[in-house]
């Protein structure tokens, strides 16, 4: 089936089998930040932003995203958009393997676009579908809350 998709602000056309998931398509195009963790919508490691909303790309067919805009972690500039986050994550001892981080960053970006100054509760809610198996979700949430405090006013 033929579809058109805008990925990170670049237009693409694909002819693909209808059962291809969005995460499979993105990875086949070299967007390796889209991790295939549980492939059941439980871990959030495949999170991308689809037309402004964070979604699990592993439980969505690529054809469902026809004519939409997908944003992946490759498009995020950590040096500018999330400047203090890298240091804060290291300070909090948050990153072990880093597998969950792209998905978490995409969930966080979708939250910030919607709510520039989120509360702790809103951060917890936004990251509830993102699982970090190394550190539990306590450290990532604490680190992201601290980074948001430092970034206040930037979004």
Partner 1 sequence: MLSNLKAYFRPKSIPEALALLEKNSGAILVVAGGTKLLQIQNNIVQELVDITALGLNYIRESSSEIRLGATTPLQYLVDSATAGGMLAEAARLSDRSTMIRNVSTVGGQLISTTPLSPLYCAFLALQAQVRIAGGSEFALAMNIFLNKKGLEGGLLVEVIVPKTKPTTFSAIAPIQSNGQHPLICACTRITFMNSTCSEAKLAITGTQKVPQRLHAVETFLEGKKLNEANVAAAADIACEMYHPISDAMASEEYRNEVARVVVKRTLRDCLEQFEDNLESQT
DSSP, collapsed to helix, strand or coil, labels residue 21 as: strand
Please choose, out of 28-36, 55-63, 71-79, 89-97, the segment that lies near partner 1 by the rule CB under 8 A: 55-63
Please choose, out of 27-35, 51-59, 89-97, 145-153, the segment that lies near partner 1 by the rule CB under 8 A: 51-59
DSSP 94: -
x-or-dash pattern for partner 1, window 63-92, by CB under 8 A?
Answer: xx-x--------------------------
Q: Which residues contact 94 (CB under 8 A, 6 or more apart)?
A: 132, 135, 139, 140, 142, 143
Q: How many residues does the chain have?
A: 155
x-or-dash pattern for partner 1, window 105-124, by CB under 8 A?
Answer: --x--xx-------------
Among 7, 33, 47, 132, binds partner 1 (CB under 8 A): 47
Could you tell me the sign of the dihedral formed by the alpha carbons of 106, 111, 113, 116, in that order? negative
Number of residues that bind partner 1 (CB under 8 A): 30
> Taking a C-beta distance cutoff of 8 angstroms, is the pair 106, 48 a contact?
yes
């Amino acid at each position: 089936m033929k579809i058109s998709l805008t990925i990170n602000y670049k237009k693409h056309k694909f002819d693909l089998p209808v059962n291809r998931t969005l995460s499979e398509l993105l990875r086949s195009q070299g967007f390796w930040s889209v991790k295939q963790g549980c492939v059941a919508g439980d871990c959030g490691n495949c999170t991308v932003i689809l037309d402004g909303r964070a979604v699990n790309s592993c439980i969505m067919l690529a054809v469902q995203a026809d004519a939409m805009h997908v944003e992946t972690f490759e498009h995020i500039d950590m040096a500018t958009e999330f400047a203090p986050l890298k240091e804060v994550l290291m300070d909090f001892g948050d990153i072990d393997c880093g597998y969950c981080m792209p998905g978490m960053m995409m969930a966080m970006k979708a939250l910030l676009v919607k709510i520039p100054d989120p509360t702790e509760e809103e951060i917890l809610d936004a990251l509830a579908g993102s699982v970090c198996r190394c550190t539990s979700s306590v450290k990532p949430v604490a680190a992201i809350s601290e980074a948001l405090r430092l970034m206040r006013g930037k979004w």
